[in-house]
Amino acid sequence: MSAENTAARPFGARLAEAVAERGPLCVGVDPHPELLRSWGLPVDASGLERFALTATEALAGSVAVLKPQSAFFETYGSAGIAVLERVLATTRQAGALLLLDVKRGDIGSTMAAYTDAYLADGAPLAVDAITVSPYLGFGSLEPALAKARSTGRGVFVLARTSNPEGHTVQRARDSSGTTVAQSVVDAAARYNAGAEPLGDVGVVVGATVGPGEVRLDTFNGPVLAPGFGAQGATAEDVRRVFGAGLRGLLPASSRDVLRHGPSPDALLSAARRAADSLAAILPSS
C-alpha cells in the first residue's frame, strides 16, 4: 500500500505482510560517492540519479523494504531531493515499503515540522516509516509517534547502534542499572503493547553488537538491524545476536548488495542471496 494513502492501516501489520511475502531483508539505497565511482558514474546529480534509480528499479519489486539514506541525496541540494522523490515514487509503484533513514530528533515545533515532512499524508517526501533519534529525551519524539499512529506509518528509534562512538551514551546505566539503550527499547515497547501482529514503533539495534545487550523478547515491534553484510555481520551473527525466533526482525544491508551494480540482474541476485541466507534462520512474520 502506498505511503501516500495508507488509510491509517497500521505500519506493523503492513510490514508483517511484506516480510511474509518477500522475506526479512531491508536494502539500503546509499548513493555514497565511492559507490558511484565504482559504478563508473560521475559524482554529481546525474550520477546520483542513474545510481539511485537503477538500484531502486532492480530491487523494489522483490525486497520487503527499501531504505534510502537521505543524507546522500541532500548533499546535491534541490536536484538531489528531486531524485529522492523519484526513488520514493518508483518504490511505491513496485510495492516495497519505504523506510527513509533521516535520524531526525528535535523538540517541539521543529520535531513537528520534521514529522509533517515525512509522515503526513500528501507530503512530497511521505514514506512508510522513518528513523528517529531519542537522545533529546524519548518524550521529544511524541509528535512523530502521534503522527505515525494517526496515518498508519511507523518510526524506528535508535537504541543500540553499532558505531563505537555510541557506546558511551547507549551503554551508560541509570540508578537502577538499566542501560540507556534498554530504556529506549522499554519506552518504545509501551507503544506496542497489545498490537497484532506487530506494533508500529520499531527500534534500531545493530547486528554487530554483543548478544544480550538489549532484551527484545517482549518488545512486540519491528527491529531494524543494520550491519548485515559489508559491516561484517553474517546470517549466523544475526541469529547469535537476536536469536532465531524474534518476530519483526529486519536485517539491513546496503553496500554488500549495491557493490554488485550497475547490472540490475547482479543487484537483484545479490539481494536474493542475502534474503535466502536470512530466510533459513528467521521467522517469516
Indicate the average pLDDT of the chain.
Answer: 93
In a domain, 3, yes or no: no
Q: What is the pLDDT of residue 283?
A: 61
What is the residue whose three cell numbers read 519491528?
222
In a domain, 29, yes or no: yes
Q: Total domain count for the chain?
A: 1
In a domain, 78, yes or no: yes
In a domain, 2, yes or no: no
Q: In 3-state terms, the chain is what percent helix, strand and coil (to 5)? A: 45, 15, 40
In a domain, 1, yes or no: no
Q: Known catalytic residue: 67?
A: no
Residues 133-146 have pLDDT tens digits of 999 999 999 999 99
Element (H, E) at 223: strand 223-226
Residues 181-199 have pLDDT tens digits of 999 999 999 999 999 999 9
Domain that residue 171 falls in: 11-279
> How far is residue 89 from each of residues 18, 32, 51, measured CA to CA in Å?
18, 21, 16
Confidence of residue 1 (pLDDT cuts 50, 70, 90): very low
Residues 42-72 have pLDDT tens digits of 999 999 999 999 999 999 999 999 999 999 9
Catalytically annotated residue among 103, 240, 255, 272: 103
| Mean pLDDT calculated for residue range 201-222 | 93
CA atoms within 13 A on the CB side of 20: 10
In a domain, 112, yes or no: yes
pLDDT at 172 over 90: yes
In a domain, 5, yes or no: no
Question: Cα–Cα distance between 263 and 152 in angstroms, integer?
Answer: 35
Residue 17, domain CATH: 3.20.20.70
In a domain, 263, yes or no: yes
